Amino acid sequence: ITLAPTQPIRITGGEYYLLKLLEGRPTSKGQNIRVEMLGSPMEFVVTSTRPAGPVIADRRTEITISEKPAAEKLERVPRVTYEDIGGLKREIGLVREMIELPLRHPELFQKLGIDPPKGVLLYGPPGTGKTMIAKAVASETDANFISISGPEIMSKYYGESEKQLRDIFKDAEDNAPSIIFIDEIDSIAPRREEVTGEVERRVVAQLLALMDGLQARGQVIVVAATNRPNAVDPALRRGGRFDREIEIGVPDKNGRLEILHVHTRGMPLAQDVNLEKIAEVTHGFVGADIASLCKEAAMHALRAIMPEIDIEKEIPQEVLDKLQIRMADFEDALKNIEPSAMREVFVEVPNVHWDDIGGL
Ligand code: ADP
């Protein structure tokens, strides 16, 4: 039985777990298998069986884990467009120039004789759209989007973190143009002062080496995100690896209004809904808060008509027609949602040393 992971991750030594799971069960091509491996859920697809299935595995069945099926790759590129992002016009402009331009037109950089950026660091509070922006550039440029999370990489067995990074970079280069998205980079590459372990040092060294190796191509760009920019190893920031940084901040009133428009797109809003007003009173809300607010308002509207619904029967058209989201639903939803800015207090201790100041 041959299986391929549906995530862009190569697995070593998972055959045993899979055989245990498949033993005694009919298995056929195309079937999806979910399994807990080393504490995290993984999904596989059966790519072939011999003989042609369904087959029933026993202890002697040979399990092969192959690379991710090619067809799966581009399908998994999240379809996020710039229109799905509210506010952040200036930031999107910067991202397009730094990431989209070199991916689409490496010849411009060749002609100028300069290296295109290899890494871009997006920083700002959680839920402000960093991941969305990275996904949007990938889908708008038809680039592969390979996403890894810092803590996930660091939780690997000894030596596996570096190997996984190497595999990811190889995958990205083989399928260029690609964007490698590293979420929570601060956990892979914390400031040296914070580093106690040898493992972190080796992983940072590996990441630096891999990024340096990318130089020639320009068709693979690493986008990293963090909400603790000051906790990131300065070697990554200054050394030219992540030579561009873009702040993705908490939206202002206009930004919030745009995000409200995005998240109420297609919702049946009643006449009395005043998005301007909502934008005004949601100071401190980030994109993720506004998304929850809209969903909560919709659920509130739904609860209001629940008494008229018989779950087991078809819903009459006149009840469907009545289903509208009113200003009162938003007002009630607001009582239940606290902006993340209030939940998380950011204390960024300025980490500047005398050595960081030159020439004075
Ligand atoms: P981050 O990576 O900064 O933590 P995400 O990009 O994962 O945040 O955002 C989480 C969710 O919040 C998104 O899926 C989206 O629904 C919503 N969101 C965040 N920022 C925006 C934005 N600027 N415009 C529209 N939706 C947003």
The one-digit pLDDT tens for each residue of the chain (360 residues) are 888 887 766 666 778 888 888 888 888 887 888 877 666 777 888 888 888 778 888 888 898 887 765 444 444 556 789 999 999 999 999 999 989 998 888 888 889 988 888 899 999 999 999 999 999 999 888 888 998 888 888 877 777 888 889 999 988 888 888 899 999 998 886 665 655 577 778 888 898 889 888 855 568 999 999 999 888 887 778 766 787 899 999 999 999 999 999 999 989 999 999 999 999 999 999 999 999 999 999 999 999 888 888 888 888 888 888 899 999 999 999 998 877 755 544 444 556 777 778 877
Tokens of 52: 């042609």
Q: How far is it, in rounded angstroms, from Cα 248 to Cα 129?
A: 7
Q: How far is the CA of 132 from the centre of ligand 1 (A)?
A: 6
Q: Is 80 in the pocket of ligand 1 (CB under 6 A)?
A: no
Rounded distance between C-alpha atoms, residue 175 and residue 173, angstroms:
5
pLDDT for res 273: 96
What per-residue confidence (pLDDT) applies to 104?
87
Give the bridge partners for 123, in sequence order.
226, 247
CB 149 within 8 A of CB 126: no
What's the 209 CA to ligand 1 centre distance in angstroms? 31
Q: DSSP 3-state assignment of 194?
A: helix
pLDDT for the residue numbered 357: 80
Q: How far apart are CA 130 and CA 283, in angstroms?
A: 20
pLDDT number for residue 330: 96
Ligand 1 atom closest to Cα of residue 288: 12
Answer yes or no: is the C-beta of 88 below 6 A from any ligand 1 atom: yes
Element (H, E) at 312: none
Q: Could you tell me the two tokens for 37?
A: 């491996």
- ipTM (interface predicted TM): 0.98
Ligand 1 centroid distance, CA of 287 (Å): 5
φ/ψ of 26, rounded to 5, equals -65, 130
User: For residue 176, what pLDDT is reported?
Assistant: 81
Mean of all residue pLDDT scores within the chain: 84
Q: What is the pLDDT of residue 131?
A: 94
Nearest by Cα to 275 from 326, 342, 322: 326
pLDDT for position 114 = 84
Strands 64-65 and 2-5: parallel
245 phi/psi in degrees, rounded to 5: -130, 140
Compute the 3-state secondary structure of the chain and give helix, strand, coil in percent, each to the nearest 5: 45, 15, 40
Look-up of token digits 């009133």: 253
